[in-house]
Amino acid sequence: MTTTTLDKPVKRKTFQGVGTRRRVTDLTATVLVTLSVLIALVPLVWVLWTVIAKGLPAVTSQTWFTNSLSGLLPASPGGGVYHGLIGTLIQGLVCAVFSIPLGIFVAIYLVEYAGNSRLGKLTTFMVDILSGVPSIVAALFIYALWVVTFGMTKSAFAVSLALVLLMVPVVVRSTEEMLKIVSQDLREASYALGVPKWKTIARIVIPTALSGIITGVMLALARVMGETAPLLILVGYAPFINFDMFKGEMGSLPGVMVAEMNNPTDAGVNRIWGAALTLILLIAILNIFAKLVGRFSSVNTR
């Protein structure tokens, strides 16, 4: 019996060399992506270096974190931003107390309960709208509602309410994405054991996504702590300590920078850059704290 070449198995090469055209295309894409990253890093590093170089002399002074600017003349050296740091932390803390639970609950509803309901679609649409609202519009809304309609005085609490409008959509979006990452198999396994849905969310879903939720919350808080428009519209700047959220003017780090813009002396310039560097350090500390909390959470350490 004769055999032809058609009866013999065809052996193909296990590996074929990459063509020149593919190599050139891959190299070109790699170079373009690398250049894009470097170009994006240039202004970021430049800004950070400028703020550090100009703000470090003020931040390293002995009175920077222990004194306020109360009683100091514009050209007088010294003083500090203790009042501004305390004011920023108080306003951010009050804003977080309202924004974090509200944003997390809305995200849980959108992921776990809404489905394709009309209320879910309306909520998603409103969150998208709030995400693009400028800070000055949020401040004007709170001014019209809190001051004009309710007759309340301008205060730091009104500033926190305006910051809530800016922080909630960021918390909702970040928490929503983290909850979607949680595997559906974990939910179904919990349901199969007879665990109610609310307890599954509280004991399984949220702890699993806790690290990402905390990171998103800290990023949202870092965003609102640097806002200036609500401060200018809803409360005046005070160069002294004020712990009353409902009465009087209150200092803040952005307020220090705005107030010292009208001070052309060397002392004023140093305070501007020092307040800017202090705000950056505060945001960096919050982000580092969020990373540590997420890393050492109970779910991640198991």
Per-residue model confidence (pLDDT) at position 302: 46
Query: Do 301 and 108 form a contact (C-beta atoms < 8 A)?
Result: no
Per-residue model confidence (pLDDT) at position 11: 58
Whether the full predicted model's pTM is greater than 0.75, yes or no, is: yes
Give exposure, 149-178, as e/b (b: 16+ Cβ within 10 Å).
Answer: eeeeebbbbbbbbbbbbbbbbbbbbbbbeb
Task: Establish how many alpha carbons lie within 13 A of residue 135's alpha carbon, considering only the half-sphere containing its beta carbon.
Answer: 16
Q: Among residues 266, 255, 201, 253, which one has the least CA distance to residue 222?
A: 253
Per-residue model confidence (pLDDT) at position 77: 80
Give the count of beta carbons closer than 10 Å to the beta carbon of residue 74.
14
Per-residue model confidence (pLDDT) at position 46: 94
Q: Extract the residue ranges of the chain whose pLDDT is less than 70.
A: 1-18, 296-302
Query: Do 279 and 253 form a contact (C-beta atoms < 8 A)?
Result: yes
The reply to whether CATH 1.10.287.610 applies to domain 86-252 is no
Q: For the chain, how are helix, strand and coil distributed in percent, rounded to 5?
A: 70, 0, 30
Per-residue model confidence (pLDDT) at position 300: 46
Per-residue model confidence (pLDDT) at position 4: 55
Per-residue model confidence (pLDDT) at position 7: 56
